[in-house]
Amino acid sequence: MSILSDFLKEVDEGYTVIATSGRVVYANEFMVRRGIIKEEYEGKPYYECFRVLTLISAVAEGLSEKRRIATSFEHEEVEYQADVFPAGDGTLLRLTDITKFKRYERSKKEFVANVSHELKTPIAIIKSILETIIEEEKDEGKRRLLERALKRTEDLRNIVEDLLIITKLESGEEKLHKKMLNAKELVSVVFDMLREIAQNINVELINEVDENTKVYADEDKLNLLLLNLVDNAIKYNKEGGKVVVKARTEKGYVILEVSDTGIGIPKEHIPFIFERFYRVDRSRSRELGGTGLGLSIVKHIALSHGGKVEVESKEGEGSTFRVYLPQSI
C-alpha cells in the first residue's frame, strides 16, 4: 500500500476516491497542488471540496448512475480531461493535464487552415491557365497531357475546398442558414446528382423518405452531408447493390439513415473513419478517387447543427449511417 501511495504522490495525474456517501476518502498531491480540491478534504462531502463545478456535476452523475463519465474543463489556464469510474463502493476520479495536447491540436488545425488558404489562389490560377492552353492546343497528344494535368488540378482544388469547409465548421466561423426543408426532396436532389455514377456500376438508389418529413437545417450543408454519404454508399457497394435512404423522428431528433448493401467496414476501422484522410483500404480508395475527407465533413456538419452521426456495419454485408439532427428551431 505504501508503494502505491508513494507512486500516487509522484505521478503527474490527479486521483480522488469518493465513497458512496459522497465523502472524499483520498486525493493525491496533484489534486491539492493544482488547486482543484481544498487541502482539508478528508471525510468531507465532495461538493464542498472541489473548486471546479464541472467536477462536482461529473462526480454527482458518476455516483448516481454508476457508470463511466468523461468530461473536460479549464482551470487556471490549464486544460484537463476528467474521467469518473465506478470503483468498489464509490467512485474514482482521474484528472489528466491535456494542455499540451490541446495546444498541439490547435496548431495542427491552424497549420492546415493556413496551408489550405494559401493554396487556394495558386491552384485557381493554374487551373485557368491550363483551360486556356487546352482550348488553343491543336496537337492531340499534348492536349491529352494537359487534360490530365487539369484533372489533377481539379482534384487538388477539391481537397483544398474540403479542408477549408472542415476548418470553417470546426472553428464555428461558418454561419449556418437554417430553414425548414423537405427531406424527401433533398434526397432526390442528391440522387439526381449521383444517378449516373450509380447506373455505371448498376447500383439502385431508393428514396424511402416520407413526403411529410421536415428537417430544420442549412440546405447547402445538408446537401453536402447527404452527397458524401450517398457517394460512399454507391462507391463502396457491390455490382447490383442497393442504397436506401430513410428518415424518422424520434425524441426531438430527425434521423436520416443511409444504408447500403456494400462491402461493409471492418470493426477495428470504425472508430477512425470520421477522421481526416482515414481510408480503410488505401489502394481501393485511391482507385475510386477518394481522399478520406468525406466522412469528416459529414461529422462536422452534423455537429455544427447540434447533432451527431453513427454507423453500424457488417463486413461483406453493408453499412448504415445515421445522422441525428435536432428537430426544434
Interface stretch with Mg ion, choices 56-64, 71-79, 170-178, 224-232 (CB under 5 A):
224-232
Whether 193 and 227 have beta carbons less than 8 Å apart is answered as yes
- Residues in contact with ligand ATP, shown as a per-residue x/- string from 16 to 55 under the rule CB under 6 A: ----------------------------------------
* Shortest Å distance, C-beta 320 to ligand ATP: 9
The helix (run of H) or strand (run of E) holding residue 215 is strand 214-218
Residue from 190, 290, 307, 323 in contact with ligand ATP (CB under 6 A): 290
Q: For the chain, state the CA radius of gyration.
A: 26
Q: Where are the beta strands (DSSP E) in 237-317?
A: 242-250, 253-260, 308-314
Which of the ranges 2-10, 89-97, 123-131, 289-297 carries the binding residues for ligand ATP, by CB under 6 A? 289-297
Assigned C-alpha cell, 30: 496533484
User: Residue 214 forms beta bridges with which residues?
Assistant: 182
Pick from Mg ion, ligand ATP, none: which does 280 bind, CB < 5 to 8 A by kind? ligand ATP
The verdict on 164 binding ligand ATP (CB under 6 A) reads no
280 binds ligand ATP (CB under 6 A): yes
| Order of strands, sheet of 253-260, starting from the edge strand that comes earlier in the sequence | 204-207, 242-250, 253-260, 318-326, 308-314
Q: Name residues whose C-beta falls within 8 Å of residue 274's C-beta, 6 or more positions apart in sequence.
A: 295, 296, 298, 299, 309
Q: Which helix (H) or strand (E) holds 161?
A: helix 140-171
CB of 269 to ligand ATP, least distance (A): 7
Q: Does 262 bind Mg ion (CB under 5 A)?
A: no
299 touches ligand ATP by CB under 6 A? no
Euclidean distance between CA atoms 218 and 301, whole angstroms: 9
- What cell was used for 276? 481526416
CB half-sphere exposure, 78, CA atoms < 13 A? 16
Region from 90-98, 109-117, 199-207, 225-233 binding Mg ion, contact rule CB under 5 A:
225-233
Q: Does 256 bind ligand ATP (CB under 6 A)?
A: no
- With cell 449511417, the residue in question is 321
Does 265 contact ligand ATP by CB under 6 A? yes
Residue 263 touching ligand ATP (CB under 6 A): yes
Among 184, 221, 246, 279, contact with ligand ATP (rule: CB under 6 A): 279
232 near Mg ion, judged by CB under 5 A: yes
**Is 14 an interacting residue with respect to Mg ion (CB under 5 A)?**
no
Q: Does 296 bind Mg ion (CB under 5 A)?
A: no
